[in-house]
A = this chain, B = another copy of it.
């Protein structure tokens, strides 16, 4: 890619001269003027190689006085020699400011594009609010990408440093934080690349890092020219932009020499400039970018202009075409319009496809070590590799064991989520699903107004489909108290209990209703549970599981009963059944439906083999046993665990939930058709009971005894 395009314009001989000049004299040769009629980004007046500020600014100034011809200075890449790349295993530092749910999703796409092309170890410095930190910490911990280090910095602490600046840009206060990075990043850090979350890489970031080597002694900031006429002024009547050199620079991609900025008293410098300008201007329009430009206007020797391909700006009225039509290779794309991907310009589809590549890219494929560099595994990865290496591929349960060890990438609160402060008796509905159950979400929202914590098992591409699905649904997008946690697919078996544990761990209320996605709760259930929790005095450390009796309908459409009386009438009419009445009555028999019919108050029931009721428990309940993957015994084991820990089971007389019909899942069909599957489930059950005996001793004997009773199909 390097040098590409040059031979076309100059030929090999000129290339040689250029390189000789570059290496021998440490500078740049005088650039060629384009032939008359030749397409030129400089419009016939600019130089083709505006790599030094002087040349660039000549071009920029030229532009302001020209009529008609394309303004100059936009095409810096045509003859920019790529500086030598940093050594293969050198650590590169990248800083990103990221706040909130939506920016976190954006940042992940940016990071995927970075990782796809990178060949160097990376240290990501993430300046985040609490929401983004929570999301990204979980994500990187579970992503386990080798040769990536992540540090977090608290954006809240930085707010006082910049909140005095009035700012009208859509990025809000966070947009200004790039100004204070030299003081925030570790003092030992000499240089870093600063990126907006709305950029996408189309090349190796090491090529960008290499431009640090171009900096003269005085230069401290590397920037690409702003590819619009904003800073030229007069875009509309009374449009008064901040001062800038010509078209100014765009701060979506910044190379910062942090060491020199600190030495030069950067903090005082930009504050002084900002305060002075704010005497005349009411606020920044483009956040940090206005201030960077004002400082650079005052101190043009601070800036090292970068080739335009390193920040191709795709706003609605972008002039970027002049850059990319000539360029051999695009390096970084910047979606710097508030419309982002919906921006309209002639080549939007082209750029969108590059972006969509990474949006849907399977992030687990980026878990690749850097071949030829010392191994830099993230925490836990080595033990995981060892555990995986110890698995026996000939073991018939190999797939189960591998699935159980798999660390899935987890993106918690994938969509905006603003729960109310938790009430002491509040309860969160906890469930898990994959794409084939999305259509349950609206109905579930209508039946359960309370908080929900849902784990979704999706590919990266499906996560985007899910996002569009929610956005298109008024019911779903109106809800603030439903948290969606994306667990990325990996492996052949559905990790049902890992999913439940993710959703459970993210519940924010003191109590949780451990449900399944195919159940619709009674309309009154949420209120009724909160009242029951309060009345039963569950708060005081009492280990109780409230049982919500489960029913099922076999019709796609049916009229949901609005009361217990209606439910009983439907039951009597044969329109409803107790759950799995035909296939597996043991699963709910201990709930004692006959007693429930008549019950006026909660009644206690005893555990029995294969009992798997839907229960409400305190959030600190035992986790699900993640060895059970695919279909079978996943809830049963959890109920055994509750019983073993001394939970009492109280059936609530007015509570119910109804299961809607669905086609058997792939995992169930596999279970039914495969002997291996059933044999493995039996092996897992036995291992579970051995563990149980180890942990609970003789008290666990009853579960083993129960297991050995004759029974129907498991």
Contacts and interface: CB of A to CB of B under 8 A. Distances in A.
A662 B662 contact: yes
A438 interface: yes
A119 B203 CA distance: 14
A20 B18 CA distance: 11
A15 B84 contact: yes
B20 A16 contact: yes
A179 B518 CA distance: 60
B328 A350 contact: no
Interface stretch (A355-363, A410-418, A611-619, A637-645): A355-363
A65 interface: no
A114 to B, nearest CB: 15
A387 interface: no
Nearest to A553: B554
A663 B660 contact: yes
A492 interface: yes
Contact of A3 (B2, B12, B438): B2
A494 to B, nearest CB: 13
B3 A84 contact: yes
A436 B439 contact: no
Interface stretch (A123-131, A293-301, A497-505, A664-672): A664-672
Nearest to A436: B436
Given A88-B328, A442-B673, A461-B461, 17 more contacts: A1-B207, A2-B2, A5-B85, A5-B88, A7-B84, A16-B19, A85-B328, A353-B365, A356-B362, A356-B365, A357-B362, A362-B461, A435-B435, A436-B436, A475-B673, A554-B555, A662-B663
Contacts of A666: 438-439, 469
Which of A13, A350, A365, A437 has the largest count of B CB atoms less than 10 A from its CB?
A: A365
A582 B557 contact: yes
7 closest cross-chain pairs (CB), A and B: A2-B2, A662-B663, A7-B84, A554-B554, A439-B669, A16-B23, A436-B436
Nearest to A367: B353
B360 A362 contact: yes
A26 to B, nearest CB: 10
Interface string A92-118: 000000000000000000000000100
29 contacts: A1-B1, A2-B4, A3-B82, A5-B85, A8-B88, A15-B23, A16-B24, A119-B328, A325-B372, A326-B372, A327-B372, A347-B371, A350-B371, A353-B366, A357-B365, A436-B663, A437-B663, A439-B668, A440-B663, A442-B669, A442-B673, A472-B670, A554-B554, A554-B555, A556-B661, A556-B663, A557-B582, A660-B663, A663-B663
Contacts of A583: 556-557
A459 interface: yes
Contacts of A665: 439
- DSSP class of A's interface residues: helix, strand, loop or mixed? loop
A324 interface: yes
A237 interface: no
A342 to B, nearest CB: 11
A363 to B, nearest CB: 11
A57 to B, nearest CB: 27
Interface string A462-505: 00000011001101000000000000000010000000000000
A19 B669 CA distance: 64
B356 A368 contact: no
A329 interface: yes
A650 to B, nearest CB: 31
A15 B3 CA distance: 14
Contacts of A116: 357
A278 interface: no
Interface in A502-526: 518
A192 to B, nearest CB: 22
A461 B368 CA distance: 19
Nearest to A362: B360
A325 B82 CA distance: 24
Interface in A300-334: 324-329
A376 B661 CA distance: 51
Contacts of A347: 371
A82 B439 CA distance: 54
A492 to B, nearest CB: 7
A137 interface: no
A264 B400 CA distance: 60
